[in-house]
Amino acid sequence: MEYPISITPHAERTVTDTKSIPFGKVPTEHMFVAEYRDGKWQNARITPFHDLTLSPLALCLHYGQTVFEGMKAFMMEDGRINIFRMEKHYDRFSKSLDRMCMPRVPQSLFTEAMHQLVQLDSKWVPEEADGSLYLRPFMIATEDRIGVKIADEYLFMIVASPAYQYYANPLKIKVETHFSRAADGGTGMAKCGGNYGGAFFPTQMAKEEGYDQVLWTDSKTHEFIEESGTMNAMFYIDGTLITPALSGSILDGVTRNSLLALAREQGMKVEERPLAVKELKDALEAGKRVEAFGAGTAAVIAPIASIAVDGKAYDCYVGEDATMFTLKKELYDIRTGIAPDTHKWNYVL
Ligand SMILES: *Cc1c(COP(=O)(O)O)cnc(C)c1O
């Protein structure tokens, strides 16, 4: 093998009842680490989960060269384990790394590291229908040098944590017309750490006003919808599934991509295009049945109960027969092997 991975297993299995633990709080027993030095990936290993030692001069701590992915492994109907859309996540990871001037991870190393880690911690993959093992591959610049520069040394790591339903209730959100998450030509299409740090303040303000999340709009005019929180925003209005077209300021979500493919396949009308806040408001004001939801790996589908435009809240449809739930079920069926995986989205261990 080009990149041999050494494995040091944890001395004993310590899986506990993880269902009551908040998202991301409890890591599995193992983690993967590889080092980038002298232009090469080396020392790839799976070890018991441990803290890192970093120089305070490490560049990631100062200038934000950090990139991550979020993906999931599922327990299938037949008891095998499926890592969902690993290739698509790998491709996006690579795009994010390119944008941040960070070295790509060879696909064979990424795939093998995922495979070995999930295999070793397979007991942590929840069996419950709403459970999965959340996988977090990420990279940080570790070179110890405080001057502003592209780092020459990095760590690529993967950690994992059991995950269940992300949001307990449908969300109340507001259209954000002052702050922006991302701008044209910026880093919105990359899953890099700084995007999230910068979004905290507007989100906290929205929470103080009684909302759960913001609906981001474009940074120039604030007239067009972009994303909701850290999810892609999708709408189902008059039999059409509508979502903002991808741009430099919208993340190319794997869940978004999967849902669009499923919808198209069953002949649903699908539109990826600019969606004006005004168009949405008009539909809501006209009393149309509007389904709105966030799409992302962590929550899969987060139903939106209401959207406030200029301080006025409009209700969206969240009934059990909503189309978003049908799509969610179809995705679930593919991931768990109930429905055939015609797209080759599953990587089954
Ligand atoms: C991760 C993320 C999404 C969702 O992408 P998935 O691949 O579906 O998980 C959407 N928007 C932002 C800003 C994200 O960080």
Which domains are present in the chain? 6-164 (3.30.470.10), 171-335 (3.20.10.10)
The percentage of the chain sitting over the pLDDT mark of 90, rounded to a whole number, equals 90
Greatest CA separation for the chain? 63
pLDDT, tens only, 212-264 = 999 999 999 999 999 999 999 999 999 999 999 999 999 999 999 999 999 99
Find the length of the chain. Answer: 349
pLDDT at 287 over 70: yes
pLDDT at 201 over 90: yes
pLDDT-derived band at 20 (thresholds 50, 70, 90) equals confident
pLDDT score, position 9: 86
Taking the centre of ligand 1 as the mean of its atom positions, its distance from the CA of residue 141, in whole angstroms, is 22
Measured CA to CA, the distance from residue 138 to residue 157 in angstroms comes to 5
Measured CA to CA, the distance from residue 348 to residue 83 in angstroms comes to 6
pLDDT at 21 over 80: no
pLDDT score, position 19: 78
More confident position, 11 or 272: 272
The percentage of the chain sitting over the pLDDT mark of 70, rounded to a whole number, equals 99
Measured CA to CA, the distance from residue 349 to residue 347 in angstroms comes to 6
Least confident residue range of 64-78, 87-101, 140-154, 159-173: 159-173
- β-partners of residue 144 are 58
pLDDT score, position 1: 67
Mean pLDDT of 150-179: 94
pLDDT-derived band at 82 (thresholds 50, 70, 90) equals very high
Question: HSE-up of 98 (CA within 13 Å, CB side)?
Answer: 7
Taking the centre of ligand 1 as the mean of its atom positions, its distance from the CA of residue 159, in whole angstroms, is 18
Nearest-atom number in ligand 1 for the CA of 297 is 9
pLDDT, tens only, 301-319 = 999 999 999 999 999 999 9
Residue 254: name the closest of 344, 177, 345 by CA.
345
Long-range pairs, 265-271, Cβ under 8 A, ≥24: 268/239, 268/240, 268/241, 268/323, 269/239, 269/240, 269/241, 270/240, 270/241, 270/242, 271/240, 271/241, 271/242, 271/243
Mean pLDDT of 164-184: 92
Nearest-atom number in ligand 1 for the CA of 254 is 7
pLDDT score, position 239: 93
In the block, residue with structure tokens 């539909």: 283
End-to-end CA distance of the chain: 19
Buried/exposed code over 215-238 (b: 16+ C-beta within 10 A; e: otherwise): bbbbbeebebbbbbbbbbbbbbbe
pLDDT, tens only, 37-79 = 999 999 999 999 999 999 999 999 999 999 999 999 999 999 9
Nearest-atom number in ligand 1 for the CA of 191 is 15
Could you tell which of 138, 231, 328, 345 is best to mutate to test the pocket of ligand 1, judged by most ligand atoms within 8 Å of the CB? Answer: 231
pLDDT score, position 18: 74
pLDDT-derived band at 132 (thresholds 50, 70, 90) equals very high
Structure-block tokens of residue 191 = 């899953």
In the block, residue with structure tokens 């701590």: 61
Q: Measuring from atom 4 of ligand 1, which residue has the nearest CA?
A: 296
pLDDT-derived band at 189 (thresholds 50, 70, 90) equals very high
Taking the centre of ligand 1 as the mean of its atom positions, its distance from the CA of residue 277, in whole angstroms, is 21
pLDDT score, position 261: 98
pTM: 0.96
Mean pLDDT of the chain: 95
Nearest-atom number in ligand 1 for the CA of 229 is 13
pLDDT score, position 23: 84
Mean pLDDT of 90-101: 98
Mean pLDDT of 317-325: 96
pLDDT at 166 over 90: no
